[in-house]
Structure 1
Amino acid sequence: MLLTIDEVLSAAEVEHARTLLAQARWIDGRSSAGPLAREVKNNLQIAEDCPTLAPLRRLVLQALEREPLVFSAVLPRDIFPPQFNRYRAIGEGEHYGPHVDAAIRLVGERKLRTDVSATLFFSAPEEYDGGELVIHDLFGTQRVKGKAGSIVIYPASSLHEVTPVTRGERLASFMWFQSLVPDPVERRLLFELDMATLTLRSEHGEGALAARFSTLYHNLLRRWSV
């Protein structure tokens, strides 16, 4: 499932984030890539010891926690600390060629399974040319160039890429989630059932049918979660 959610960050939060990003210390993005991804990765990311990284992470995590659609779509058990990248119009354009995210990431001494990937945009689409997030999966090939403050969520198992930036600069945060429901088909069914239940309640209020929908949702979640 691919889902874009607008206004995860307010305009003021985007502006604050961009101020912090302007003060950041950037390093070669290949430093965090595996052997295969390193061959196709050409961008910058914030160094782990950069003082602005912690407040940027807090900003992103607080925004994710207050957005109910993120919880419904991801059903997060854990999240890899958000990272931040930068693509510039240098040479033929900084980019990240076709790759798939590593299945397991280390968070300290813990191992996190990457079920869901997400990109949160800080640059408005009119600020740069190129820089599209292209996702190839069973739903076909999708090209995403989100609004500033929006997030796109998609399966971490997807082959994806960022096309070369040929004008301006693309600033974004990227992250991975381990979901309570690892299976993407089951996760999508639960999301659609949750959305249908919300629609039923908004149109007809609480009642026996809404209660049955809710019971079905929670029993499926109980059955499928790990």
Structure 2
Amino acid sequence: MFCEIPDLLTPAEVAELRGLAARLRFVDGRVTNPDSQVKNNLQGDLGDPFHDQASKILRGALSRHPTFVAFAFPKLMAPPALSLYRPGMNYGAHADAAFLPISARPIRADLSCTIFLTDPDQYDGGELSVRLGTREVDFKPAPGAAVVYPSTTIHQVRPVTRGERLCGITFIESSIVDRTGRELLFELNEVLAEEGDKLSWDARTRLSHVATSLHRQWGDAG
């Protein structure tokens, strides 16, 4: 299941992130994946202070957005980073690493997130393409939008042929490890939020009991 969030960032935050990107030093994206034969992009230098400022904005936007929180059940999040694609750059088909050694203990990548920062008409190509069975679903939304998808899916960034593609990326360890359970609980909670007022109090209480019991059974608070 994919989760599209069209309004993750405010226009002011998009503008601020673009400004930080203009001053940020970008390095070869393979610095974090030197063995990759398909990664051909740039990413913000993790030692640059502008990286920390951008990362803080992205993390704050994700942490406050109710749809992201409801879908991801976030437990840990890798520091969001900015990535840049110029003409001729792409990131070929790949699956994200299972564990990321970027904190006191490795973060398990349950979900991946791409946050778009460039107007779609300012670049050609550059779609985030996620494989779904025998088909691929392409995403190229407006700036400020985010797409959250399981890290286990094979995906790619198609070659950019004109302009530049700026985006934010991060990886999330969910408090609910099982992908199916996480998605079912998200759907159940969404129905409760949207339809709860139409239910009798008894029915609403019983559904809430099911949702909280499943969350307790499947979740990991540690």
TM-score band (shorter)? Answer: over 0.9
**What residue in structure 1 maps to residue 182 of structure 2?**
187
Please, what TM-score do these two structures have when normalized by structure 1?
Answer: 0.93
Of all paired residues, the percent bearing the same amino acid is 35
1: CA distance between counterparts of 2:61 and 2:101?
A: 23
* 2:50 aligned residue (49, 52, 55): 52
Partners of 1:151 and 1:59 lie apart in 2 by 14
SS of the counterpart of 2:49? coil
- Are 2:123 and 1:128 aligned? yes
Matches of 1:211 and 1:15 in 2, distance apart?
A: 44
- Partners of 2:199 and 2:22 lie apart in 1 by 48
Looking at structure 2, the residues matched to 162 and 78 of structure 1 have their Cα atoms a distance apart, in angstroms, of 25
Structure 2: gaps (5+ residues): none
* Unpaired segments ≥5 residues, structure 1: none
- Alignment-derived partner of residue 95 in structure 1: 90
Kept in 2: contact 1:128–1:165 (CA 8 A): yes
Shift of 1:111: 1.0
Pairing 1:33–2:33 present? yes
TM-score, length of structure 2 as denominator length: 0.95
Q: Which amino acid aligns with 1:187?
A: R
Contact 2:91-2:157 at 8 Å conserved across structures? yes
The residue type equivalent to 1:3 in the other structure is: C
Q: Can you list the C-alpha shifts for 1:90-124, whole angstroms capped at 9, x where unaligned?
A: xxx20000111110101233111100000011111
Which residue in 2 is equivalent to 1:66? 64
Aligned residue number for residue 159 of structure 1: 154
- Tell me what 2:137 maps to: 142
- Cross-structure match for 2:11: 11
For the residues of structure 2 that align with 1:219 and 1:140, how far apart are their CA atoms?
36
Give the corresponding residue for 1:75: 73
Distance verdict in 2 for CA 1:15–1:65, change over 3 Å: same
| Equivalent residue, structure 2, for 1:224 | 218
CA distance in structure 2 between the partners assigned to 1:206 and 1:74 by the alignment: 29
Match of 1:61, SS? helix
| Structure-1 residue corresponding to 2:203 | 209
What is the total number of aligned residue pairs between the two structures?
220
| Cα separation, 2, equivalents of 1:197 and 1:139 | 33
| Contact persistence 1:115–1:177 (CA under 8 A) | yes
The CA deviation string for residues 142-172 of structure 1, in whole angstroms up to 9 with x for no partner, is: 1111210011000000111000001111000
Secondary structure in structure 1 of the residue aligned to 2:85 = strand
CA deviation after TM superposition for structure 1 residue 178, in Å: 0.5
SS at match of 1:142: strand
SS in 2 for 1:7: coil
